[in-house]
Each structure stands twice: as C-alpha cells, then as structure tokens.
C-alpha cells in the first residue's frame, strides 16, 4: 500500500480544455493550482499578482478578490 504522505512530485492530474471547445496547443505546458485547499497555490497567486499587475491590472484585481474571498471564508 502506498504511503499517501510521500511527496508525489509533478504528475498529470488534470485535463485542460478551452471553454469554447476550441483545441488547446498540444505543445503548451500548463500548471493548474487549486486555490481553495493549497496554501502554496495561494502564495504562488500572490506572486503572480505582483508580477502581472502593471500589464494586466484587471486580472491582478480579480485574483486578489478571489484570495480575499478565500481568506474571509477561512478556506
């Protein structure tokens, strides 16, 4: 029986598809983060906000709003 507390490393866990059904680039590299359960994901999003806020202020604001909602709900 596998020890579930062992780090798994990087592995395929999710399938990425576009909402409109158009194909994704098969050579693209995606990294999916689950913000509601992973505190490391929230830290990564905070860094992403800092990195993109000048070029993508709306995206940064939207991500900050999600982080604030998660914080308020104690998730």
Enter the DSSP assignment of 22.
P
C-alpha separations of 54 from 33, 49, 57, 61, 62 in Å: 22, 9, 6, 11, 14
- Res. 1 pLDDT band, cuts 50 70 90: very low
pLDDT by residue (tens digit) across 40-56?
A: 999 999 999 999 999 99
Stated pTM of the model: 0.78
Q: Could you please report the per-residue DSSP string of 24-74? A: PPTT-------TTT-HHHHHHHHHHHHHHTTT-HHHHHHHHHHHHHHHHTT
């Amino acid at each position: 029986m596998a020890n579930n507390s062992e780090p798994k490393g990087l592995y395929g866990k999710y399938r990425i598809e576009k909402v409109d059904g158009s194909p994704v680039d098969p050579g693209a590299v995606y990294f999916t983060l689950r913000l509601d359960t992973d505190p490391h994901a929230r830290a990564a999003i905070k860094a992403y906000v800092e990195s993109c806020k000048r070029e993508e202020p709306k995206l940064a604001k939207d991500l900050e709003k999600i982080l604030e909602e998660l914080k308020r709900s104690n998730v």
